[in-house]
Amino acid sequence: MASSSGQDAGLRHLALMGIPVWARRRPTAGRGTALPPGEEGPDRAAAPVPAATAAVPAAHRDGGVATLGWEALAERVAVCTACELHRTRTQTVFGTGDRDADWMFVGEAPGADEDRQGEPFVGRAGQLLTAMIEALGLRREQVYIGNTLKCRPPRNRDPLPEEVVRCRPFLERQIALVQPRVIVALGRIAAHNLLGVETPLARLRGRVHRLAAGTPVIVTYHPAFLLRSPREKRRAWEDLCLARRVARGEPT
Protein backbone atom coordinates (compact mmCIF):
# COMPACT_ATOMS: atom_id res chain seq x y z
CA MET A 1 0.00 0.00 0.00
CA ALA A 2 1.02 3.57 -0.47
CA SER A 3 2.41 4.98 2.74
CA SER A 4 0.44 7.59 4.63
CA SER A 5 3.46 9.86 4.38
CA GLY A 6 3.29 9.53 0.61
CA GLN A 7 -0.37 10.46 0.62
CA ASP A 8 0.33 13.35 2.97
CA ALA A 9 2.98 14.55 0.57
CA GLY A 10 0.42 14.51 -2.21
CA LEU A 11 -2.07 16.43 -0.11
CA ARG A 12 0.58 18.98 0.80
CA HIS A 13 1.34 19.36 -2.86
CA LEU A 14 -2.30 20.09 -3.59
CA ALA A 15 -2.47 22.56 -0.74
CA LEU A 16 0.62 24.32 -2.01
CA MET A 17 -1.08 24.64 -5.36
CA GLY A 18 -4.01 26.35 -3.75
CA ILE A 19 -6.53 23.60 -4.21
CA PRO A 20 -8.81 24.12 -1.23
CA VAL A 21 -10.28 20.68 -1.01
CA TRP A 22 -9.40 17.05 -0.43
CA ALA A 23 -11.35 17.38 2.81
CA ARG A 24 -10.82 14.62 5.34
CA ARG A 25 -14.48 14.25 6.22
CA ARG A 26 -16.92 12.41 4.03
CA PRO A 27 -19.36 14.83 2.46
CA THR A 28 -23.00 14.71 3.44
CA ALA A 29 -25.88 15.23 1.09
CA GLY A 30 -27.06 18.79 0.90
CA ARG A 31 -27.37 21.83 -1.22
CA GLY A 32 -25.08 22.00 -4.14
CA THR A 33 -24.20 18.34 -4.09
CA ALA A 34 -26.42 17.16 -6.90
CA LEU A 35 -24.39 15.13 -9.32
CA PRO A 36 -25.05 14.24 -12.91
CA PRO A 37 -26.39 10.80 -13.76
CA GLY A 38 -23.72 8.17 -13.45
CA GLU A 39 -21.45 10.32 -11.32
CA GLU A 40 -23.74 10.47 -8.37
CA GLY A 41 -23.33 9.72 -4.77
CA PRO A 42 -21.09 7.81 -2.46
CA ASP A 43 -19.93 4.33 -3.18
CA ARG A 44 -22.49 1.69 -2.64
CA ALA A 45 -21.86 -1.82 -1.49
CA ALA A 46 -19.69 -3.32 -4.12
CA ALA A 47 -21.52 -5.24 -6.77
CA PRO A 48 -19.31 -7.27 -9.07
CA VAL A 49 -18.38 -5.42 -12.19
CA PRO A 50 -18.18 -7.45 -15.39
CA ALA A 51 -14.73 -8.07 -16.75
CA ALA A 52 -13.71 -5.51 -19.28
CA THR A 53 -14.07 -6.42 -22.88
CA ALA A 54 -13.39 -3.25 -24.82
CA ALA A 55 -14.24 -5.31 -27.86
CA VAL A 56 -14.46 -3.57 -31.20
CA PRO A 57 -16.44 -5.01 -34.10
CA ALA A 58 -14.12 -6.53 -36.62
CA ALA A 59 -15.46 -4.27 -39.34
CA HIS A 60 -14.11 -1.25 -37.51
CA ARG A 61 -10.63 -2.69 -37.36
CA ASP A 62 -10.46 -2.49 -41.14
CA GLY A 63 -7.87 -0.10 -42.40
CA GLY A 64 -5.08 -1.58 -40.35
CA VAL A 65 -5.33 0.83 -37.43
CA ALA A 66 -4.29 -1.98 -35.11
CA THR A 67 -0.90 -2.20 -36.82
CA LEU A 68 -0.06 1.49 -37.20
CA GLY A 69 2.91 3.14 -35.53
CA TRP A 70 2.63 6.47 -33.76
CA GLU A 71 3.19 8.76 -36.72
CA ALA A 72 0.94 6.86 -39.08
CA LEU A 73 -1.72 6.67 -36.40
CA ALA A 74 -1.57 10.43 -35.81
CA GLU A 75 -1.82 11.06 -39.53
CA ARG A 76 -4.79 8.72 -39.82
CA VAL A 77 -6.62 10.48 -37.00
CA ALA A 78 -5.86 13.93 -38.43
CA VAL A 79 -7.72 13.16 -41.66
CA CYS A 80 -10.38 10.85 -40.23
CA THR A 81 -13.93 11.28 -41.51
CA ALA A 82 -15.33 8.07 -40.08
CA CYS A 83 -18.09 9.80 -38.16
CA GLU A 84 -20.07 13.01 -38.49
CA LEU A 85 -17.96 14.84 -35.93
CA HIS A 86 -15.38 15.57 -38.59
CA ARG A 87 -17.80 18.11 -40.09
CA THR A 88 -17.88 20.35 -37.03
CA ARG A 89 -14.39 20.01 -35.55
CA THR A 90 -11.74 22.69 -35.83
CA GLN A 91 -9.10 20.00 -35.67
CA THR A 92 -8.63 16.54 -34.24
CA VAL A 93 -7.20 16.12 -30.76
CA PHE A 94 -4.92 13.12 -30.89
CA GLY A 95 -3.35 12.89 -27.44
CA THR A 96 -0.26 14.13 -25.70
CA GLY A 97 2.51 13.11 -23.36
CA ASP A 98 5.09 10.39 -22.93
CA ARG A 99 4.44 7.61 -25.41
CA ASP A 100 6.23 5.18 -23.10
CA ALA A 101 4.41 6.32 -19.98
CA ASP A 102 3.51 4.10 -17.05
CA TRP A 103 0.36 6.15 -16.58
CA MET A 104 -2.37 6.88 -19.11
CA PHE A 105 -5.31 9.20 -18.44
CA VAL A 106 -8.34 8.87 -20.69
CA GLY A 107 -11.15 11.40 -20.83
CA GLU A 108 -14.32 11.72 -22.81
CA ALA A 109 -13.87 14.02 -25.78
CA PRO A 110 -12.37 17.39 -26.63
CA GLY A 111 -14.16 20.50 -25.44
CA ALA A 112 -14.06 23.96 -26.96
CA ASP A 113 -10.57 24.80 -25.68
CA GLU A 114 -9.18 21.45 -26.81
CA ASP A 115 -10.81 21.77 -30.22
CA ARG A 116 -9.15 25.17 -30.61
CA GLN A 117 -5.72 24.17 -29.36
CA GLY A 118 -5.52 20.57 -30.56
CA GLU A 119 -4.47 19.23 -27.17
CA PRO A 120 -6.51 17.30 -24.60
CA PHE A 121 -7.28 18.70 -21.17
CA VAL A 122 -6.40 22.34 -21.52
CA GLY A 123 -8.39 25.05 -19.77
CA ARG A 124 -9.52 24.81 -16.16
CA ALA A 125 -10.25 21.10 -16.21
CA GLY A 126 -6.83 20.53 -17.70
CA GLN A 127 -5.21 22.60 -14.99
CA LEU A 128 -6.91 20.48 -12.37
CA LEU A 129 -5.82 17.29 -14.10
CA THR A 130 -2.27 18.61 -14.09
CA ALA A 131 -2.58 19.29 -10.37
CA MET A 132 -3.86 15.75 -9.80
CA ILE A 133 -0.93 14.34 -11.75
CA GLU A 134 1.55 16.47 -9.85
CA ALA A 135 0.00 15.44 -6.55
CA LEU A 136 1.08 11.93 -7.48
CA GLY A 137 4.64 13.14 -7.75
CA LEU A 138 4.58 13.08 -11.55
CA ARG A 139 4.86 15.75 -14.20
CA ARG A 140 2.24 16.06 -16.89
CA GLU A 141 4.90 15.31 -19.50
CA GLN A 142 5.55 11.94 -17.83
CA VAL A 143 2.06 10.56 -18.47
CA TYR A 144 0.04 10.03 -21.62
CA ILE A 145 -3.29 11.86 -21.91
CA GLY A 146 -5.97 11.09 -24.45
CA ASN A 147 -9.69 10.98 -25.02
CA THR A 148 -12.24 8.42 -26.10
CA LEU A 149 -13.17 10.63 -29.05
CA LYS A 150 -10.67 12.65 -31.05
CA CYS A 151 -13.19 15.26 -32.26
CA ARG A 152 -15.38 17.61 -30.29
CA PRO A 153 -19.08 16.78 -30.13
CA PRO A 154 -21.12 19.92 -30.88
CA ARG A 155 -22.11 21.87 -27.77
CA ASN A 156 -20.20 19.31 -25.72
CA ARG A 157 -23.01 16.79 -25.92
CA ASP A 158 -22.35 13.20 -24.93
CA PRO A 159 -20.73 11.07 -27.63
CA LEU A 160 -23.13 8.97 -29.65
CA PRO A 161 -22.62 5.20 -29.62
CA GLU A 162 -21.67 5.07 -33.29
CA GLU A 163 -19.09 7.81 -32.78
CA VAL A 164 -17.52 5.85 -29.95
CA VAL A 165 -17.46 2.65 -31.98
CA ARG A 166 -15.85 4.33 -34.98
CA CYS A 167 -13.25 6.15 -32.91
CA ARG A 168 -12.42 3.31 -30.53
CA PRO A 169 -9.71 1.65 -32.68
CA PHE A 170 -7.62 4.82 -32.36
CA LEU A 171 -7.70 4.76 -28.57
CA GLU A 172 -7.12 1.03 -28.52
CA ARG A 173 -4.05 1.47 -30.69
CA GLN A 174 -2.77 4.26 -28.45
CA ILE A 175 -3.16 2.00 -25.42
CA ALA A 176 -1.39 -0.84 -27.22
CA LEU A 177 1.50 1.44 -28.17
CA VAL A 178 1.89 3.07 -24.77
CA GLN A 179 1.43 -0.18 -22.83
CA PRO A 180 0.77 1.71 -19.61
CA ARG A 181 1.03 0.10 -16.20
CA VAL A 182 -2.31 1.70 -15.33
CA ILE A 183 -5.07 3.62 -17.09
CA VAL A 184 -7.13 6.19 -15.20
CA ALA A 185 -10.56 6.61 -16.75
CA LEU A 186 -11.76 10.15 -16.14
CA GLY A 187 -15.52 10.26 -15.78
CA ARG A 188 -18.50 8.10 -16.55
CA ILE A 189 -18.32 8.19 -20.31
CA ALA A 190 -14.65 7.32 -20.52
CA ALA A 191 -15.16 4.50 -18.04
CA HIS A 192 -18.16 3.10 -19.85
CA ASN A 193 -16.46 3.20 -23.21
CA LEU A 194 -13.21 1.72 -21.98
CA LEU A 195 -14.82 -1.04 -19.94
CA GLY A 196 -17.81 -1.80 -22.12
CA VAL A 197 -20.27 -1.48 -19.21
CA GLU A 198 -23.02 0.92 -18.18
CA THR A 199 -22.54 0.61 -14.44
CA PRO A 200 -22.91 3.88 -12.50
CA LEU A 201 -19.59 5.52 -11.90
CA ALA A 202 -19.97 5.29 -8.13
CA ARG A 203 -19.88 1.50 -8.41
CA LEU A 204 -16.97 1.46 -10.83
CA ARG A 205 -14.72 3.40 -8.48
CA GLY A 206 -12.57 1.76 -5.86
CA ARG A 207 -11.58 -1.39 -7.67
CA VAL A 208 -9.25 -2.55 -10.37
CA HIS A 209 -10.81 -3.32 -13.73
CA ARG A 210 -8.94 -4.87 -16.62
CA LEU A 211 -9.15 -4.49 -20.36
CA ALA A 212 -9.19 -7.62 -22.47
CA ALA A 213 -5.41 -7.40 -22.83
CA GLY A 214 -5.05 -7.24 -19.06
CA THR A 215 -4.28 -3.54 -18.70
CA PRO A 216 -5.58 -2.33 -15.32
CA VAL A 217 -8.09 0.51 -15.31
CA ILE A 218 -9.02 2.70 -12.35
CA VAL A 219 -12.14 4.84 -12.61
CA THR A 220 -12.44 8.30 -11.12
CA TYR A 221 -14.29 11.55 -11.67
CA HIS A 222 -13.73 13.83 -14.62
CA PRO A 223 -11.82 16.99 -13.63
CA ALA A 224 -14.62 19.15 -15.04
CA PHE A 225 -17.00 17.45 -12.64
CA LEU A 226 -14.58 17.99 -9.76
CA LEU A 227 -14.54 21.69 -10.55
CA ARG A 228 -18.30 21.73 -10.07
CA SER A 229 -18.23 19.44 -7.04
CA PRO A 230 -14.94 20.11 -5.27
CA ARG A 231 -15.92 18.10 -2.21
CA GLU A 232 -15.57 14.98 -4.34
CA LYS A 233 -11.87 15.63 -4.79
CA ARG A 234 -11.15 13.59 -1.68
CA ARG A 235 -12.68 10.57 -3.39
CA ALA A 236 -10.74 11.28 -6.55
CA TRP A 237 -7.58 11.36 -4.49
CA GLU A 238 -8.44 7.93 -3.09
CA ASP A 239 -8.82 6.71 -6.66
CA LEU A 240 -5.45 8.12 -7.62
CA CYS A 241 -3.83 6.44 -4.63
CA LEU A 242 -5.34 3.13 -5.74
CA ALA A 243 -3.99 3.72 -9.24
CA ARG A 244 -0.57 4.50 -7.80
CA ARG A 245 -0.54 1.19 -5.95
CA VAL A 246 -1.41 -0.57 -9.20
CA ALA A 247 1.29 1.31 -11.10
CA ARG A 248 3.83 0.34 -8.46
CA GLY A 249 2.73 -3.28 -8.43
CA GLU A 250 1.71 -3.00 -4.79
CA PRO A 251 -1.20 -4.91 -3.23
CA THR A 252 -4.55 -3.23 -3.75
Q: Which residues are near ligand SF4 by CB under 6 A?
A: 77, 80-83, 85-86, 92, 149-151, 163, 166-167
Considering the complex, state which of residue 44 and residue 71 has its C-beta at the smaller distance from ligand SF4. Answer: 71
| Shortest distance (Å) from residue 169 CB to ligand SF4 | 9
Q: Which CB, 56 or 143, lies closer to ligand SF4? A: 56
95 Cα distance to chain centroid: 12
* Residue closer to ligand SF4 (CB basis): 86 or 248: 86
DSSP string, 126-166: HHHHHHHHHHTT--GGGSEEEES-SSPPGGGPPPPHHHHHH
Q: How far is the CB of 90 from ligand SF4 (least distance, A)?
A: 12
Indicate the residue among 54 and 151 with the shorter CB distance to ligand SF4.
151
Q: How far apart are CA 11 and CA 21, in angstroms?
A: 9
Q: How far is the CB of 97 from ligand SF4 (least distance, A)?
A: 18
Residue 144 to residue 98: CA distance in whole angstroms = 5
Q: Which residues contact 39 (CB under 8 A, 6 or more apart)?
A: 187, 188, 200, 201, 202, 221, 222, 225
Least Å distance, CB 118 to ligand SF4, is: 13
β-sheet with 182-186: strand ranges across: 96-97, 144-147, 103-107, 182-186, 216-220, 209-210
Report the residue number, 12 or 86, with the smaller CB distance to ligand SF4: 86
Pick 76 or 203: Cβ nearer ligand SF4: 76
DSSP H helical segments within 179-222, as ranges? 188-195, 201-204
Nearest in space to 177 (alpha carbons), one of 83, 95, 122: 95
Minimum distance of ligand SF4 from residue 38's CB (angstroms):
21
- Residue 8, helix vs strand vs coil: helix
* Smaller CB separation from ligand SF4, 25 or 87: 87
Q: How far is the CB of 82 from ligand SF4 (least distance, A)?
A: 4
Contact status, residue 63 vs residue 164, Cβ threshold 8 Å? no
CB of 154 to ligand SF4, least distance (A): 12
CA–CA separation, 137 vs 134, rounded Å? 5
